[in-house]
Amino acid sequence: MFDAGSTGTRVHVFKFKKTPNGAPKLAHETFKAIKPGLSPYADDPEKCTAGIQELLNVAKENVPCDLWKSTPLVLKATAGLRLLPGQKAKQLLDKVKDIFQSSPFLSREDCVSIMDGSDEVEEGNTLVSPCLAPDYEEQWEHAEVVYTIKGQKAGEPLYESCYSKVEKMLYRKVKKAEEAKDMDFYAFSYYYDRAVDIGIIDEKTDGNIKVEDYEAAAKKVCKSMETDQGKNPFLCLDLTYIAALLQELGFPKDKVFKPILKQRMFYSFKMTREFKIMSAKETGNIEQEELLERLIAHCGESE
């Protein structure tokens, strides 16, 4: 799986094993990233060849050669290519497809594609977000195209509009784990910072925060931003996303999270997460293991 993002291209080589019930389970993942992404080669697609070949070599090193012909290659491009002029994006994707088809791996006709955007509604060169205040407007240049980013229309309830968009984005992408309500969880990094922003916890004294605190803060912040975007124009989006994501994962609204500073977490986090995941594996608690891995992956991405 190739992830062509705006800042880099990554390859994920997944190895699965069958569980007793026949369902596949991730056994190992190899990862490598290179910079820049594909979009800087928009004017000369041939130059992306070396980077794609480098990532293909990673696949060759990790997939047994007798399985190459049956191992599919897939590349999904995101914002970087989505914002390029149509013909330039197509030329880049066509080049990647040619490289894939020249490799010993399985490459289908639809092996490369651009993912649809889920956070904005495009109107020409204007990006409209239902999670930004009506008075929000900024210019952003990408790939020689200047975009105008705007908030939603005045008079629309900001929280409800934003929550609806977030729900659609998360739909069928998050697996609920019912046992989450009975496990101890800590709020750090992205979750910790937003809790500090809304004054629920203090950086010096810490405290506790519940899922319903994020939700209540999201409603309050979004409501205030209907008339004034404030100092942090993305706070409504952040809080709404956190509230929706945690509930989609299975956390009840009264679930308490223990906030912890990133500096204090750094030294023990890796050891703790491995212990938790190993414990889940040893007890056969597959859903608990998957929940831990999803939360860890999400927190890592926020960094």
What is d(CA 274, CA 208) in angstroms, rounded to the nearest whole number? 24
Q: Is 299 exposed, middle or buried (0-12, 13-18, 19+ CB in 10 A)?
A: buried
Structure tokens at 117: 């955007």
CB atoms within 10 A of CB 232: 13
For the question of residue 144 being annotated catalytic, the response is no
Distance CA 178, CA 287 (A): 9
Contacts with 269 (C-beta within 8 Å, 6 or more apart), sequence order = none
Contact 169, 242 (CB under 8 A): no
Q: Which of 61, 120, 138, 203 is catalytic?
A: 120
End-to-end CA distance of the chain: 22
Residues 161 and 155: their CA atoms lie apart, in Å, by 11
Residue type for 42, please?
A: A
Query: Count of CB atoms within 10 A of residue 265's CB?
Result: 16
Among 53, 58, 97, smallest CA distance to 75 is for 97
Give the whole-angstrom CA distance, residue 217 versus residue 42.
42
Q: Which residues pair with 10 in a beta bridge?
A: 3, 33
Cβ-based neighbour number of residue 245 at 10 Å = 19
Which residues carry out catalysis?
120
